[in-house]
Structure 1
Amino acid sequence: MNNKPYIVIMAGGIGSRFWPYSRRKKPKQFLDVLGTGRTLLQMTFDRFREIADEEQFRIITYKKYVHLVKEQLPELTDQQILIEPNRKNTATCIAYATYRIYSKDPDATLIVTPVDHLILQESKFLRTIKKAVVAAQEGERLITLGIKPNRPETGYGYIQYIEGSGKEVLKVKTFTEKPNIKLAKTFLESGEFVWNSGMFVWKASSLVKAFRQYMPDLAEVFEEGSEFFGTEKEPEFVAKAYLQVKNISIDYGIMEKSSEVYVILGDFGWADLGSWNSLRENRERDENQNVVEANALLYNTKNCFIKTDSDKLVVVEGLDNFLVNETDNVLLICALDGDRKFRDFVSNARKKGEDFI
Structure 2
Amino acid sequence: MNENYYAVLMAGGVGSRFWPVSTVQFPKQFHDMLGTGETLIQKTFSRLSKLIPKENILVLTNDIYNDLVLEQLPDLSPEQMVLEPAMRNTAPCILYATLKIKKLNPNAVMVVAPSDHWIEDEDAFLDNVQKAFDCALKQEVLMTLGIQPTFPNTGYGYIEYNKQDTNLIKKVSQFREKPDYKTAKEFLNSGNFLWNAGIFIWTVESVLNAFVKFQPKMYELFDAGYEHYNNPEEKEFIEGNYVKADNISIDYALMENAENVYVLPASFDWNDLGTWGSLHEKLGKDENNNAVVNARVFLENATNNIIRTDSDKTVVIDGLDNYIVVDRDDILLIYPKEKEQEIKKITAIVTKNQ
TM-score by length of 2: 0.94
Q: Structure 2 matches for 1:133-212, cutoff 5 A?
A: 133-212=133-212
What is residue 16 of structure 1 aligned with on the other side?
A: 16
Tell me the SS of whatever aligns to 2:26: coil
Map 1:45-124 → 2, pairs under 5 A: 45-124=45-124
Following TM superposition, by how much is the alpha carbon of 1:213 offset from its aligned partner in structure 2, in angstroms?
1.4
- Whether the 8 Å CA contact 1:58–1:82 is kept in 2: the answer is yes
Give me the whole-angstrom Cα distance separating, in 2, the residues matched to 1:235 and 1:15: 26
Counterparts in 2 of 1:1-357, with a 5 A limit? 3-293=3-293, 294-309=295-310, 311-353=312-354
Change (3 A) 1:249 1:55: same
Aligned-partner Cα distance in 1 for 2:64–2:155: 26
Contact 2:16 2:347 in 1 (8 A): yes
- Distance change >3 Å, CA 42–CA 311, structure 1 → 2: closer
Cα shift at 1:166? 4.8
Q: Distance in 2 between matches of 1:310 and 1:127?
A: 36
Partner letter of residue 145 of structure 1? L
Give the percent of matched residue pairs that are identical in Structure 1 and Structure 2: 45
Contact 1:176 1:256 in 2 (8 A): no
In 2 relative to 1, CA 183–38 (structure 1 residues): closer, same or farther, beyond 3 Å? same
Distance in 2, matches of 1:180 and 1:210, equals 31
* Number of corresponding residues: 352
Three-state SS of the structure 2 residue aligned to 1:38 is coil
What SS does the corresponding residue of 1:206 show, helix, strand or coil? helix
Distance 1:70 1:312, change over 3 A: closer
SS state at 2:118 partner:
strand
Residues 120 and 312 (structure 1), Cα distance of their counterparts in 2 relative to 1, 3 Å cut:
closer
Residue identity in the other structure for 2:327 = E
Which has the larger displacement, 222-231 or 289-298?
A: 289-298
CA displacement at 1:23 relative to structure 2: 1.8
Q: Secondary structure at the match of 2:210?
A: helix
Change in 2 beyond 3 A, CA 1:225/1:254 = same
Encode CA deviations 1:223-246: one digit per residue, 9 max, x unaligned: 112011011221122123321112
Distance 1:88 1:108 in 2: 25
Aligned partner of 2:56: which letter?
Answer: Q
Tell which deviates more after alignment, 198-207 or 269-278. Answer: 269-278
Q: How many Å apart are 1:312 and its aligned residue?
A: 4.8
